[in-house]
Amino acid sequence: MTHDTDADVCVIGAGIAGVTTAYLLAMEGRSVVLIDDGTPGCGQTGVTTAHLSAEIDDGYTEIVRLHGVDGARLACDSHQAAITRIETICTQEGIDADFHRVSGYLFLSPEHGEQILHEEMAAAQRAGLEVEQLRHAPVNGFNSGPCLHFPRQGQFHPLKYLNGLIEAFTRSGGRVYGGVRATTVTGGKLALVETAPGPRIRSTAVVVATNVPFVDVFAIHTKQAPYYTYVIGARIPPDAVTPALYWDTHDPYHYVRVQRTSNAALGGDNDDVVDVLIVGGEDHKTAQASDTEERFGALEQWMRERFPSAAAVEFRWSGQVMETQDGLGFIGRNPLDADNVYVATGDSGMGMTHGTIAGMLICDLIQGRNNPWAELYDPSRIRVGAAGEFLKENLNVAAQYTSYITPGEVSSLDEITPATGAIVREGARKVAVFRDEAGEIHKVSAVCTHLGCIVGWNKAASTWDCPCHGSRFDAYGRVLNGPASKDLEKIASHSEDRANEHVQK
Ligand SMILES: Cc1cc2nc3c(=O)[nH]c(=O)nc-3n(C[C@H](O)[C@H](O)[C@H](O)COP(=O)(O)OP(=O)(O)OC[C@H]3O[C@@H](n4cnc5c(N)ncnc54)[C@H](O)[C@@H]3O)c2cc1C
Ligand code: FES
């Protein structure tokens, strides 16, 4: 992107939420510019496990308590509609995204009795979801024990889907620009998006689909919290485990599915069919645990106890989910902003369906149509029943500010091995220090540019993550994820010896 441009709508962020919104608006004849700081799918959509479920992660027992039966029915309706919309788009656009309808099975974690399943089944039925209780899931390779069965859920390959959507979007005249970071959004009759490279975009509406919005300082960020989750993948013999979505009642829950692919796609030298078991879980508040290896290890042990056909773990990855205080996404007009600035955030671990709902809902709002889900997902909403969660998460945020007075993690820069980072104390300030593969030291301020919490090193992703509201920065301090919109402040590099003098444990 080299020049200022105009469009009906500017969509910021090319993950599933932004791309779906851009695609649906383009299908209605709107001129749309879609920009992304990186490349499409480089955010959380690129690391998702892509379960498509209308059984809300927090459970309908909780959703009914917080949103009432009517709200739960709308939530169920919207997530079912999202799965159907993905299926329809794949068919209409000829996108081969490995979409399949599969059953979902919610099974018991050892600490729980069957009562939890009885209650959840009753609540899910009140929400209008088809569900039955079984003594065992009728599947190969997994002894589930008592479980709930949700027929006709889905799974797909998110990046194949995203690429197909982008192709359809550009065929309809949509414009996509990668490597363009939006820095400010000014709503109003003619909204203005300013970007880091310089060119500006003028439009009549702006959709901020950056996973966590950078256009809001407090309103949304006090109502959602960042959690970090881990995933492993291991080959299983073909058909050893029936393709389905499996997850348990543990908190945090474990989630499992099977991806069929070819040996060649995994770097092998033939096209033999390969099934990969994908297992996730071990979540914690972002930047509030550093035992990465232990978490991957615990996940593997959990998998081996339940899926004995799994071979050695071949794949490991991780990512962030945003948990809202009331279990549903924030989708709609940005609170305290002009009427033509929209946000999609708060995936609550269900960003594939929430992102698709965002596309449908925001498209309706921009097109001036009523949408029955608008109030349920309104980012300005406050649910009285969520006050406890609100308090708990915000006390946790407040506690993070004590990091200003704690010591650094290392007493000498020599302790920082290549390709890792650590927080060090230099006099009164905390510094985030990264040693690159070549051994060179890179220092930035450890103070998050959103509201000043102290970031922590994420071993699994080699990023600096903020424990407060979800901001993430690369190893050199460049912002990857909002709400921060600015990079971590660079600290003039001294020679390493000199820097070492200032390090205080
Ligand atoms: C390990 C893991 C497993 C998951 N499993 C599931 C699952 O099974 N089912 C499910 O439904 N959900 C799941 N989720 C959640 C889901 O993946 C995410 O919620 C979803 O991908 C978020 O999509 P998004 O479009 O909101 O954000 P993203 O995919 O993160 O896209 C946001 C985009 O915005 C861009 N961006 C950010 N800031 C700017 C800026 N200032 N200017 C321009 N561009 C910017 C980024 O580069 C990025 O490409 C999982 C998440 C993780 C991490
Ligand atoms: S994300 Fe809010 S202080 Fe860092």
Which residue has better confidence, 167 or 391?
167
The pLDDT of residue 229 is 97
- 364 three-state secondary structure: helix
All CATH 3.50.50.60 domain ranges of the chain, comma separated, are 5-46+159-222+327-393
| Ligand 2 centroid to residue 179 C-alpha, Å | 23
Atom 1 of ligand 2, residue of closest alpha carbon:
469
Judge contact between 50 and 157, C-beta under 8 A: yes
Provide the 3-class DSSP secondary structure of residue 167.
helix
Which residues, in sequence order, are bridge partners of residue 132? 149
Percent of the chain with pLDDT over 70: 97
pTM, rounded to two decimals: 0.95
Give the pLDDT confidence of 126-154 residue by residue, as tens digits. 999 999 999 999 999 899 999 999 999 99
Give φ, ψ of 103 to 5 degrees.
-80, 150
> Could you give the CA distance from residue 60 to residue 460 in angstroms, rounded to a whole number?
32
To test the ligand 1 pocket, which listed residue (12, 23, 35, 45) has its Cβ within 8 A of the most ligand atoms? Answer: 45
What pLDDT score does 494 carry? 56
Q: What is the pLDDT of residue 497?
A: 44
Average pLDDT, the chain: 93
Sort strands 503-504 and 420-426 into parallel, antiparallel or unpaired: antiparallel
**Secondary structure of residue 121 in the 3-state scheme:** helix
Residue 106's DSSP bridge partners are 148, 247
Ligand nearest to the CA of 322: 1
CATH class of 5-46+159-222+327-393: alpha beta
378, HSE (Cβ side, Cα atoms, 13 Å): 14
Could you tell me the distance, in angstroms and rounded to a whole number, from the CA of residue 87 to the centre of ligand 1? 20
Residues 492-502 pLDDT 10s: 765 444 444 44
Amino acid in position 503: V
CA nearest to 466, candidates 415, 420, 400: 400
d(CA 74, CA 468): 30
Residue 82: the pLDDT is: 98
Max intra-chain CA distance, the chain: 67
Give CATH 3.30.9.10 domain extents, the chain: 92-153+223-322
| The pLDDT of residue 267 | 86
For the chain, the straight-line distance linking the first and the last C-alpha, in angstroms and rounded, comes to: 46
When the candidates are 2.102.10.10, 2.60.40.10, 2.60.120.460, 3.40.50.720, the CATH number that belongs to 406-498 is 2.102.10.10
Q: Is the CB of 471 under 6 A from ligand 2?
A: yes
Higher per-residue pLDDT: 394 or 301? 301
Separation of alpha carbons 468 and 462, rounded Å: 18
Residue nearest to atom 25 of ligand 1 (CA): 15
* Domain limits, CATH 2.102.10.10, in the chain: 406-498
Mean pLDDT of 288-317: 95
- Reported as a single tens digit per residue, the pLDDT across 413-422 is 999 999 999 9
With b for 16 or more beta-carbon neighbours within 10 A and e for fewer, the 256-281 pattern comes to bbbbeeeeeeeeeeeeeebbbbbbbb
Look at 30-39, 114-123, 279-288, 386-395 and tell me which has the smallest mean pLDDT.
Answer: 386-395
Task: State whether the beta carbon of 209 lies less than 6 angstroms from ligand 1.
Answer: yes
Residues 6 or more apart in contact with residue 158 via CB below 8 angstroms: 16, 41, 45, 46, 48, 50, 97, 352
Residue 496 pLDDT: 46
Please give the distance, rounded to the nearest whole angstrom, from the Cα atom of residue 317 to the centre of ligand 1. Answer: 14
| Angstrom distance (rounded) from CA 34 to CA 436 | 33
* Closest atom, ligand 2, to C-alpha of 484: 1
For ligand 2, say whether the CB of 345 is within 6 Å of any of its atoms.
no
Find, among 195, 148, 142, 161, the residue nearest to 45 by Cα. Answer: 161
Looking at residues 485-496, what average pLDDT do you find? 79
- For range 6-14, the mean pLDDT: 98
Q: Which CATH fold topology does 92-153+223-322 show? A: D-Amino Acid Oxidase; Chain A, domain 2 (3.30.9)
> 465 CB under 6 A from ligand 1?
no
